[in-house]
Amino acid sequence: MSARGKKQHSSRRTQRNRGVIGLVLAALSIIVLLLFVIRFAYIAGSGHVGQVDLTKKTQKKYRFDQVIKARRGTIYDANGNAVAEDSNVYTLYAVLDKNQVSTAGRPLYVKDKAKTATVLSKYLKISATEITKTLNQNQFQVEFGAAGRNLSLEIKQKITDEKLPGINFTETPSRLYPNGTFASHIVGLAQLKTTVDQTNQQSTQQLKGLMGVEQYFNKQLTGVNGRQVAKLNNYGYELPDSKRVVKKAEDGSDVYLTLDSRLQSYLEQLLQDVQDKYDPTELSAILMNAKTGAIIAASQRPTFNAATKSGLETQWRDSLVEDAYEPGSVFKVLLLAAAIDSGKYNPNATYRSGSVTINGSTIRDWNQVGWGTIPFSQVIPRSSNTGAVHIEQALGETLWKEYLNRFRVGQKTGITLPNEASGSIQIKTPLDRAITSFGQAVNVSAVQMMSFLSAIANQGEMLQPRIVSKVVSNQGKVTKYDKKVLGTPISADTAKQVIAAMRQVVEADYGTGQQYKIDGYDQQIAVKTGTAQIASSKGGYLTGSNDYIYSVAGIAPADDPEYILYVTAKQPDITKADAISILSEIFNPLMKRALNYRTTSADTDANSIKMSKLTGLASAAAVKKAKDQGLTVTQVGNGSKIVQQLPAAGEKVIAKQRVVLLTEGAMTMPNVVGWSKNDVLKLAEITGGDFKFSGDGYVTSQSLKAGAVITAGQQIVIKLAEP
């Protein structure tokens, strides 16, 4: 082939190769394009790139989703005073980074550390020196530990008003317990718990009840959070043609207790006095309406301050409901009721006291030697163990078991509080049955004892103890917790005879409860005393000279019972006073005050005024409203809202009578010089302070100066003199 032919052939081959390459590249381009089209179609159709949901990602980018928090319901006392309500607490922090300035150049950091420390020390429980040390740290921002947390709105506002650069707050939902130590285990406690909404993966902090009414009614109190949803652009403005969706929050229901703040606060003061003086390991008291089963006042020691949480580490259990123990001789009233009701009781028959032997075991009277041969009518007044055994033997196994069942011994009362103990009873052998007659080999709770005693005080009808009167939803629906009869274990006539025997405990010269007489209420107090051994965890009973649970159960007025009061003290220091004297320091003043309130409320005065409800109002508005009624007003505390009042709303008062109003926050001492003792007692009730009186008449001096903070455990001495 010539050179020219070779060159033409090479040229054609090159063109052909270029064509092939072009076709391959075109094919590859078409394939890649098709892959892109398919991929795009898939993404557009499915909305996913790998594991990423583009739809959700886009929605999240432009979606504004906010939880609208529901208000937790308020817990009120019987007079409509709030004892637990929603609030917010604040945590203080300081910005130290000097790069933090506003667009106008204003510093958003702590500029003058010395001044800031001096000002903050006025409001925080920390020195200016410590604050300065914290402000000198090399950090973006700092907090101030416990001193800077859980601040009230009042303190937060005062600090804000100081206009300190770089000082800011974070807000946290909280629960306000304005009365501090106030039936703390019964009202209970609610604390923050973090929950995650699975719909939008948002976490929310919500209060949850951990004990008492807060726990038992947690579902009703909690409510349902709402939500607000909108679409926003990159600048935070709502997108055109988008629709804002709002689902309103449903606030929680309000719970109304049967507790009367006047008597509850007084009981707290009495219990604390006895606790401080005699140091029992446990102490409790319950005051109940004998006709309805409504618990008017109840508390225990150890306890805690719900506002400060002080003492919470000592005792979490509500011992009135959750703890079962051997009640001792107070239980003899059930034995007597069973014997009378069954016709097996002859008060005039006699027996030999001192000791009795059952299956080789000797049971002795509490004084070891007895009182010789005495009638059965003296078994209850003398609290004779041997007499109780003889009565149980006369009843017989079948009848005694029947009446124990009628009284629902070993069964829960159904009170609306969590973790109620059912108690127990051991009656398999003759010895077991014998010792149950005086309250051993049987375990009961304090609320069960109230139920048993109600059958005696309420003409044979046994009532369920009640702590809640009603629950009111945010829509106004009312669920009532009315009087409930659990059974009729005995007749009305039997109940009357048992009360007559309990009267002899107080009135007979051989009665064990003569110290429970109350001035002004002669022949109106019926009681039964009790002394029970304490079961050992190793079996048997503790053997120390003071290893006992002392108790007293009382009913008054005896002719028409209105109140039942049950007080117990475990292992008090009886070297300072005998057990009956110790218990009388709680029983006598509380029962007397309850009876006095009953008498006062029964009186009518043409010149009386119906006390307005001032709780919940702004402080200034409440003071003005009371003064407009012609009343003398004293405000305790510098808070912005009234949380408690005395006299209570609805009570009858007279012109110029003193009204004591308590605000949230710190309780401050007013100037009480010139006050009557009765007015100071109102102050003691509403604050729960430890007031000690010297003399009679009107106040001449006070140990705590006006304006000072009333703190827990602080004793305030009030001197009085006749004008």
Q: What is the CB neighbour count within 10 angstroms for residue 640?
A: 15
Q: Is residue 451 among the annotated active site residues?
A: no
From residue 433, give the alpha-carbon distance in Å to each of 197, 253, 428, 438, 510: 57, 47, 7, 10, 27
Of the candidates 184, 253, 329, 384, the residue annotated as catalytic is: 329
The SS3 call for residue 190 is strand
From residue 238, give the alpha-carbon distance in Å to each of 60, 226, 244: 14, 20, 9
Contacts of residue 337, defined as CB under 8 A and 6 or more positions apart, other chains included, come to 403, 455, 456, 489, 490, 494, 495, 498
CA atoms within 13 A of residue 300's CA, in its CB half-sphere: 24
Using the structure block, give the residue that is written with the tokens 């009414």. 213
3-state helix, strand and coil shares in percent for the chain, rounded to the nearest 5: 35, 25, 40
The SS3 call for residue 663 is strand
CA distance 372 to 309: 55
From residue 408, give the alpha-carbon distance in Å to each of 42, 423, 449: 72, 10, 11
Q: Is 172 exposed, middle or buried, given 0-12, 13-18 or 19+ CB atoms closer than 10 A?
A: middle
Contacts of residue 620, defined as CB under 8 A and 6 or more positions apart, other chains included, come to none
From residue 37, give the alpha-carbon distance in Å to each of 23, 34, 41, 436: 21, 5, 6, 90
From residue 240, give the alpha-carbon distance in Å to each of 54, 66, 233, 405, 476: 21, 19, 9, 73, 39
CA distance 422 to 433: 19
The answer to whether the CB of 529 falls within 8 A of the CB of 512 is yes
Q: What is the CB neighbour count within 10 angstroms for residue 315?
A: 16
Which DSSP category does 522 fall into? T
- In 3D space, the residue among 619, 666, 641 whose CA is nearest the CA of residue 123 turns out to be 666
Which amino acids are annotated catalytic? 329
